[in-house]
Amino acid sequence: MANPNQQVVYTKLFINNEFVDAKSGKTFPTINPANCKKIADIAEADKRDINILANLESLDNGKPFGDSVFDINCAIDTFRYYAGWADKIHGNTIPADGASLTLTRKEPVGVLFINNEFVDAKSGKTFPTINPANCKKIADIAEADKEDIDAAVEAAKKAFARGSEWRNLDASARGRLLYKFADLVERDINILANLESLDNGKPFGDSVFDINCAIDTFRYYAGWADKIHGNTIPADGASLTLTRKEPVGVVGQIIPWNYPILMLAWKWGPAIAAGCTIVLKPAEQTPLTALHCCALAKEAGFPAGVINVVPGYGPTAGQAIAAHPGIHKVAFTGSVDVGKLVMEAAAKSNLKKVSLELGGKSPLVIFDDCNLDEAVEIAHNAIFANHGQNCCAGSRTFVQEGIYEEFVKKSVELAKKRKVGDAFAADVQQGPQVNDMIFNRILKYIESGKNEGAKVEFGGKRWGNEGYFIEPTIFSGVTDGMTIAKEEIFGPVQSILKFKTLEEVIERSNATNYGLASGIVTNNLNTALVFAQAVQAGSVWVNCYDAVVPQAPFGGFKQSGAGRELGEDGLDLYLETKTISIKLPTNN
């Protein structure tokens, strides 16, 4: 968050890992050029401070004291040289042919994080990350491919090797590292939220909310680190039989662009608690928060190679992770089609363990005994939260026929109040879709709904003239056979369907290849319980929606995935169970 009143904390010299006053006691002012007022007094180094540095240099390097003084003066000259460059970094105008203005601009470059170091891609290739609010480039990111994945896996293997610093850590120490990392994420929450909103487009407040959820997830799994245990088993015969839980090893993790840092937390938390080492590929659309988290992981004290982050494209970097023989488990969140490719690559390589959290077409069922205003709000947030870019979005809103017309009317009234705009604008509830491909696909689905006979009650168009914004859109008169009722749109499009009875809506809710989540709004507990037991979905939310918490498992039935994330179930995915039997002299 921009803060013109930011408190200045560090004004002393930094020598030998300590902030100290200048030997002379002298200070000099640093000035705000916007108003010519003093910001703070800074300790002024002189020859005595140089002598301290020269003494330290000669002590641990062995070079003559005079040489150290010379080197430090050269270093001072270098710092001053580049300080002078800070506001002079510019591109060039180019006299190109034709009626055009051509210019270059210098941009920051994002890099890979391998073995606790930020490094360039082996190929030297980069790709741009784009601000979806204005379609402008934020930065160039180093593009990982197979060679970089190999390097990251090698670092992770070394970190996981028997006798390594990571393997020798007590389980409680792993937990403390994860707690410290969570504290650093909390410290940098505004920085991370700015980055998240920049390349994802979600409102700044939503980014802050997501990061707080990520912090909760890290802390939840930090508490698990020293509570992972096996069991003793009363086996027949004169023996002692027990089980031991062990980390699965090097894990590959591929996360999506809709919840970048939250999905990172879902993956890193249990893997670190279990004692695994990580090679993670963030979505190419949203790599910025993952790279900042690498710096925080290093600051927290994670040993080299435990965490590696390799931005890149799915067909290259993602494929290399899924197929890598040195990776023992892969976790993927994304589309069904890509999930199938990940599973196939895992099977054809080394039959690595696979967990998948994929798409959904989740039903939210509204019964006529509900509080209608509350139901409208629940349904509104279920589909429009995160711009509809949510795998468990309540994208099929079933409303009982007696309240259908009134529900549609109130839903439109609420949608009209929804504020769309730039992520950093005040009170904005909905930002842009993440990129042009998603934007255009959603608009095609909206046209499909119109062409197949559904009625647009509100929205249905692009919002504004710049960026990938789409109006909150509501369709009524939707039937089960329409494309918008069957396929995952992944956008701010509410399809409202009509039903009569509980048995009918259960059957229609289950008539899909997906099974990630579901919801029901009713004041009848029996109705809620019957629906909750009958619906084929990994999560059922009663009189609420999207109630995802770190303590409870989350995942899908059918083609919505394999395995569970979060809770103890999510931890188990990163563990192997070993059975140990010990022969005893007598049977006690």
Domain that holds residue 527: 363-555
Question: What CATH number is attached to the domain comprising 331?
Answer: 3.40.605.10
Task: Check whether residue 338 and residue 208 sit in a common domain.
Answer: yes
Query: Could you tell me the pTM of the whole model?
Result: 0.82
Does residue 97 have a pLDDT over 80? Answer: no
The answer on 371 and 354 residing in a single domain is no
Residue 545 lies in a domain: yes
Q: Is the pLDDT of residue 558 over 90?
A: yes
Residue 97 falls within a domain, yes or no? no
Give the position of tokens 């770190």. Answer: 550
Average pLDDT of the residues in 444-460: 98
The stretch 431-449 carries a mean pLDDT of 96
**Domain presence at residue 47:** no
Mean pLDDT computed over 280-293 = 97
Does a structural domain hold residue 166? yes
Q: From CA 284, how far away is CA 287, in angstroms rounded?
A: 6
Is 92 within the bounds of a domain?
Answer: no
Taking all residues of the chain, what is their mean pLDDT, rounded to a whole number? 91
- The model's confidence at residue 368, banded by pLDDT at 50, 70 and 90, is very high
How many Cα atoms are found within 13 Å in the side-chain-facing hemisphere of 429?
A: 15
Q: Are residues 272 and 126 in the same domain?
A: yes
The neighbouring-strand residues paired with 126 are 142
* Domain co-membership, 281 together with 430: no
Residues 159, 206, single domain; the answer is yes
CA distance 254 to 331: 6
Q: Tell me the one-letter amino acid at 226.
A: D
Domain end call among 358, 376, 408: 358
- Relative to beta strand 307-309, strand 455-458 is unpaired
Task: Note whether residue 63 is domain-resident.
Answer: no
Read off the DSSP letter of residue 7: P
Crossing angle between the packed helical segments 502-509 and 525-534, to the nearest 10 degrees: 30
Select from 295, 324, 358 the last residue of a domain. Answer: 358
| 341 and 425 co-located in one domain | no
Assess whether pLDDT exceeds 60 at residue 6: no
pLDDT at residue 263 greater than cutoff 60: yes
| pLDDT digits 0-9 by tens, 107-134 | 445 789 999 999 999 999 999 999 999 9
Do residue 284 and residue 374 come from a single domain? Answer: no
Q: Are 354 and 367 found together in one domain?
A: no
- Same domain for 313 and 385: no
Number of domains present in the structure of the chain: 2
Q: Residue 234: beta bridge partners?
A: none
User: What pLDDT shows up at residue 50?
Assistant: 75
Phi, psi dihedrals of residue 280, rounded to the nearest 5° = -115, 135
* 349-365 confidence digits (pLDDT tens): 999 999 999 999 999 99
Q: Which residues are catalytic?
A: 357
Read off the CATH number of the domain in which 539 is found. 3.40.309.10
3-state secondary structure of 468: coil
Q: Are residues 473 and 409 in the same domain?
A: yes
Confidence of residue 578 (pLDDT cuts 50, 70, 90): very high
Do 161 and 118 belong to one domain? yes
Q: Give the model's pLDDT for residue 49.
A: 67
Alpha helices in 62-112 (DSSP H): 65-85
Partners of 403 in the β-ladder:
none
Under 8 Å between Cβ of 364 and 398: yes
* Residue at which a domain ends, from 310, 331, 358: 358
353 and 210 in a common domain: yes
Q: Which residues contact 281 (CB under 8 A, 6 or more apart)?
A: 144, 252, 253, 254, 255, 309, 310, 311, 312, 317, 318, 321
Classify residue 229: in a domain, yes or no.
yes
Q: Is the pLDDT confidence value at 548 over 80?
A: yes
Examine residue 480 and state whether it is found in any structural domain, yes or no: yes
